Amino acid sequence: METVQQIAVDTDELIINTIRTLSMDGVQMANSGHPGTPMALAPVAFTIWDKYMRFDPHNPDFPNRDRFILIWIYDNNRITIEGETSLAFSEDVATRFLSYNWHVQRVGDANDTEFLERALQNAVNEKERPSLLIVDSHIAFGSPNKQDTAGAHGAPLGEEEIRATKEAYGWDPDRQFYVPPEVEEYREAVREKGERIEVEWNEKYKNYRSEYPDLAKEFELIQKHQMPDGWDRCIPEFPADEKGVATRKSNGQVLNAIAKHHPWLLGGAADLAPSTNTLIDGADGFGKGNYKGRNFHFGIREHAMGAVANGMALSKLRPYAATFLIFSDYMRPAIRLSALMEQPVIYIFTHDSIGLGDDGPTHQPVEHIASLRAIPNLDVIRPADANEVAVLWKYIMELQNRPAALILSRQNVPTIDRSKYASADGALRGAYVLADSESTPEVILIGTGSEVQLKINDHK
């Protein structure tokens, strides 16, 4: 049977146009979508997946599959929904990224797959810096009336324009969702190649497991979202204390107790680790030349921090990302994606109340907890004292397909005397009766987090 490479030499353009026509037909049938970009970037997608990406279509979770890392592609089609980008954008993208010390290249024509391949290889060979490929493309390439127009950006092309475009490609305009036999043959060759790649890797891994059984066991636990034995054995219990401790501080103690026995728990803060108490004691900072570090210094980049945490979770690590609750607004899109992708990222938000009067209204979260609770598939957890922090971390660490937002106080809160009030284990139910009445209650006092102490005082 012919190899992928032999088939691709003869059918590259046919495959690329198949991607384009399938995209047009799909958007048209849905009567919604953006056909222009896949029509423009089909050569780019094909070149990347055909020449560089290692994957097995039968197993999208193949551990040795390639991911999109270090190399970024900027589609420079100069079109937005409202019209040409010049309406509101004049930035020199190349100069900006050169100022960041990125490796920058320009590909003058997205359809020049040979040049694109050389540029990608240059990026692969660049070992010290991230790479940006600025690719000039034509939105809705091949469309006689909508190429290089905003009309192809956010709406279907329309049946007549699709017919005209297919004719421009040399396709039968009456066929929809058509995959030529040559492309089907290529597809099957790609499947066989992917299966072969995984079989070869599995054999190598079998040998690795024989030589390094302990490391292999740890790797397998990571892949299965499981935890090492005894990961929770050092989680502390806190004695009753009227003065108490801020839950951000007790959280730091619990985090470090878990981190001692859970090597792939790692994360950091958006330039606020001393305030959020989220450094792992004794661990190095992650960075160039020290990839064993577990403390990440994200800088003042909340959204980027959330995006990085999502990437780590997709790689089966267990990341946490910390900042002040008020700044959750900056990273909301990343939090929402965690929930949509069902990734168990741990978001740690401290300084949770309007008690932060000395910092002024810009630092006082008022609507933020309600806003986070409105995100589907996000567990919002607000412990009332140190022992609830300890109990709820056990719940958080067991999560496999949903993120959690841990809401913590800056100010001290009493460590509740559990000989007088209900066990902190009740927090695992989401809500529980801390102190009951002797008869039918006339008033029910409800609180969460740092406000629970106020309800206890009212109860007294």
Please list, in sequence order, all residues whose beta carbon lies within 8 angstroms of the beta carbon of residue 90, skipping any fewer than 6 positions away: none
Q: Which one of 195, 226, 255 terminates a domain?
A: 195
In a domain, 224, yes or no: no
Give 458's pLDDT tier (boundaries 50, 70, 90). confident
pLDDT at 69: 73
* Catalytic residue (choose from 237, 302, 398, 438): 302
**Given a cut of 50, is residue 179 above it in pLDDT?**
yes
Same domain flag for 172 and 258: no
Confidence at residue 2, expressed as pLDDT on a 0 to 100 scale: 46
Rg, Å, the chain Cα set: 27
Q: Same domain for 256 and 187?
A: no
Are residues 155 and 74 part of one domain? yes
> For residue 154, what pLDDT is reported?
85
CB 382 within 8 A of CB 413: no
Mean pLDDT value across the chain: 94
Range of the domain at 50: 4-195
Q: 171 with 305, same domain?
A: no
Q: Tens digit of pLDDT for each residue in 212-259?
A: 999 999 999 999 999 999 999 999 999 999 999 999 999 999 999 999
If phi over 0 gives left and psi between -120 and 50 gives alpha, with beta otherwise, what is residue 373?
Answer: alpha
Given a cut of 50, whether residue 8 has pLDDT beyond it is no
pLDDT above 90 as % of the chain: 90
Q: With respect to residue 53, please indicate whether it lies within any of the assigned structural domains.
A: yes
Based on the fold, state whether residues 175 and 289 are members of the same structural domain.
no
Neighbours of 453 (CB within 10 A): 20
Q: Identify whether 302 is a catalytic site residue.
A: yes
| pLDDT-based confidence at residue 1 (cuts at 50, 70, 90) | very low
Average pLDDT over residues 402-416: 96
Q: Which amino acid is at 255?
A: L
CATH of residue 80's domain is: 3.40.50.970
Residues 140 and 282 in one domain: no
Across-strand partners of 320? 267, 346
Inside any domain, residue 131: yes
Count of domains observed in the chain:
2
Dihedral sign, Cα of residue 222, residue 224, residue 228, residue 232: positive
In a domain, 213, yes or no: no
pTM score of the predicted model: 0.92
Domain endpoint, select from 167, 195, 223: 195
Cβ-based neighbour number of residue 373 at 10 Å: 13
